[in-house]
């Protein structure tokens, strides 16, 4: 039948198209199954001059997974853009969106971002698992710190500040706290850029600079929404800091993050921003700093089929500085942070004693170097 209507060339073209289409679908399945199986947090689809490379971010580090012909890479991105509802014709301007999927009964949420580069369009997919049992009990806190956190989360006003580098699990910690607090009696609002976890019962706002509102303006609007608990993604400027402190001192529980290397570093940072330290000190419930370290594989030294080059999963390491009257008084009397460290015999991650790791005693410093 075909022979009568179509010439040989046309048939070859259709066959070729069909072959490419099914290759794209196969590649899509392979990339997503494998990415999830390897517990990647992100999938990168990167254009090079003559091909595409797929890379996975696993335990914080990018690793090559697959090399694709250029047309397959382009087709893969188009398929992802269709699923995300993005404009497939627009290949240069940045676009972002989300799509949902299900793999082996696990509901998954994907955040997609695309942008045009000189070598073609690139795409990064953040894998956000919806079913992860995110809870304070299972994020890996020490028993002592778990108790401190629970005790303070039950207070109705004050501020909790968490620090740690990008990828140290701050958002996961904050969300496990919000989940602990989440019930019908509380109004929980978050303002973030971007929103990383979607949680039922919490009002989350993704802050976008494009709408012409400053972060502090959005935050002011938020405070008129009668919140009990407020999560402010990050304090980057004095204005935001001032609003956060005021909210914490007027009957709200405020959770936030700042860039600082340890808990005392949080105070240094807030001081540098020019905030009223007396007010802040009154408002702080506790400061937390954290890192995520790669966990050594139990079965091997340099890699086996159960792990990724000798490492599997990550462990949380956190330090918490809880504020009580004694600490507040020391700081109010003399805001000399070097002296403060001496008075409370403060030791950050790097200065602590020994830690038992892989049945060997090593210093925290070595521990971090080994795993970070």
x/- mask, Zn ion, residues 5-44, rule CB under 5 A, reads ----------------------------------------
Pick between residue 116 and residue 310 the one whose CB is nearest to Zn ion. 310
Q: Of 166 and 302, which has the nearer Cβ to Zn ion?
A: 302
Please choose, out of 7-15, 78-86, 300-308, 314-322, the segment that lies near Zn ion by the rule CB under 5 A.
300-308
Q: Which stretch binds Zn ion (CB under 5 A): 187-195, 275-283, 289-297, 318-326?
A: 289-297
> Angle CA(18)–CA(21)–CA(25) in degrees, nearest 5?
140
* Nearest Cα residue to 137 out of 108, 173, 183: 173
Closest approach of Zn ion to the CB of residue 58, in Å: 14
Contacts of 105 (CB under 8 A, 6+ apart): none
Nearest approach, Cβ of 62 to Zn ion (angstroms)?
Answer: 20
Shortest separation between residue 294's beta carbon and Zn ion, angstroms: 12
Tell me which stretch binds Zn ion (CB under 5 A): 50-58, 157-165, 268-276, 294-302: 294-302
Write phi, then psi, for 351 (nearest 5 degrees). Answer: -100, 0
Binding residues for Zn ion, rule CB under 5 A, total: 6
How far apart CA 161 and CA 170 sit, in angstroms, is: 10
- Can you tell me which of 53, 279, 300, 330 binds Zn ion, judged by CB under 5 A? 300
The conformational region for residue 212 under phi > 0 = left, psi -120 to 50 = alpha, else beta, is left
- Inter-residue contact 225 to 189 (CB < 8 Å): yes
In the complex with Zn ion, the residue whose CB is nearer, 188 or 297, is 297
**Of 2, 18, 33, 299, which one interacts with Zn ion (CB under 5 A)?**
299
Q: Please say which residue, 298 or 332, places its beta carbon nearer to Zn ion.
A: 298
Of 297, 316, 321, 331, the one binding Zn ion by CB under 5 A: 297
Restricting to residues 305-324, which ones interact with Zn ion according to CB under 5 A?
306-307
Residues whose CB falls within 8 Å of the CB of residue 16, separated by 6 or more in sequence, listed in order: none
What is the phi/psi pair of residue 30, to 5°?
-60, -50
Question: How many residues are present in the chain?
Answer: 372
What does the DSSP assignment read for 76-139? Answer: HHHHHHHHHT--TT--SS-EEEEEEEEETTEEEEEEEEEEEETTEEEEEEEEEESS----GGGS
Among the listed ranges 85-93, 302-310, 346-354, 363-371, the one in contact with Zn ion (CB under 5 A) is 302-310
Residue from 304, 330, 337, 362 binding Zn ion (CB under 5 A): 304
Using the minimum distance from each CB to Zn ion, give the nearer residue, 48 or 306.
306
My answer on whether omega of the bond before 39 falls inside 30° of 0, hence cis, is no
Contact criterion met (CB below 8 Å) for 285 and 322: yes
Nearest distance from C-beta of residue 307 to Zn ion, angstroms:
3
- Cβ atoms of 74 and 121 within 8 Å: the answer is yes
Nearer to Zn ion, 300 or 362 (CB): 300
DSSP 8-state secondary structure symbol assigned to residue 1: -
Q: Measure the CA–CA gap between 26 and 14, rounded to whole angstroms.
A: 18
- The least CB distance from residue 309 to Zn ion, in Å, is 8
* CB-nearer residue toward Zn ion: 18 or 299: 299
Between 255 and 297, CB nearer to Zn ion: 297
Q: Which range binds Zn ion by CB under 5 A, 89-97, 120-128, 256-264, 304-312?
A: 304-312
- Can you give the binding site for Zn ion, defined by CB under 5 A? 297, 299-300, 304, 306-307
């Amino acid at each position: 039948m075909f022979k009568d209507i179509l010439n040989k060339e046309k048939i070859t073209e259709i066959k070729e198209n069909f072959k490419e289409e099914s290759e794209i679908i196969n590649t899509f399945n392979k990339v997503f199954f494998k990415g999830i199986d390897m517990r990647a947090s992100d999938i990168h689809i990167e254009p090079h001059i003559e091909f595409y490379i797929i890379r996975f971010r696993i335990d914080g580090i990018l690793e090559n997974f697959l090399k694709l012909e250029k047309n397959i890479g382009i087709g893969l991105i188009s398929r992802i853009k269709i699923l995300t509802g993005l404009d497939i014709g627009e290949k240069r301007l940045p676009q972002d969106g989300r799509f949902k999927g299900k793999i082996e009964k696990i509901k998954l949420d994907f955040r997609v971002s695309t942008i045009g580069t000189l070598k073609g369009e690139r795409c990064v997919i953040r894998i956000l698992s919806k079913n992860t049992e995110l809870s304070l009990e299972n994020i890996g806190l020490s028993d002592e710190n778990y108790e401190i956190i629970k005790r303070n989360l039950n207070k109705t006003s004050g501020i909790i500040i968490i620090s740690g580098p990008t990828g140290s699990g701050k958002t996961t910690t904050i969300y496990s706290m919000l989940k602990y607090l989440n019930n019908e009696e509380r109004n929980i609002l978050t303002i973030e850029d971007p929103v990383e976890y979607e949680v039922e019962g919490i009002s989350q706002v993704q802050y976008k600079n494009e709408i012409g509102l400053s972060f502090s303006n959005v935050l002011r609007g938020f405070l008129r929404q009668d919140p009990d608990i407020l999560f402010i993604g990050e304090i980057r400027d004095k204005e935001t800091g001032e609003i956060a402190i005021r909210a914490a001192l007027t009957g709200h529980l405020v959770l936030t993050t700042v860039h600082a290397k340890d808990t005392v570093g949080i105070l240094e940072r807030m001081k540098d921003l020019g905030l009223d330290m007396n007010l802040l000190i009154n408002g702080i419930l506790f400061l937390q700093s954290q890192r995520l370290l790669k966990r050594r594989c139990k079965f091997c030294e340099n890699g086996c089929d159960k792990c990724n080059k000798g490492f599997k999963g990550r462990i949380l390491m956190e330090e918490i500085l809880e504020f009580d009257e004694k600490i507040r008084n020391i700081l109010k009397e003399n805001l000399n942070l070097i002296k403060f460290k001496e008075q409370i015999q403060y030791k950050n991650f790097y200065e602590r004693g020994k830690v038992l790791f892989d049945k060997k005693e090593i210093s925290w410093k070595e521990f971090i170097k080994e795993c970070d």
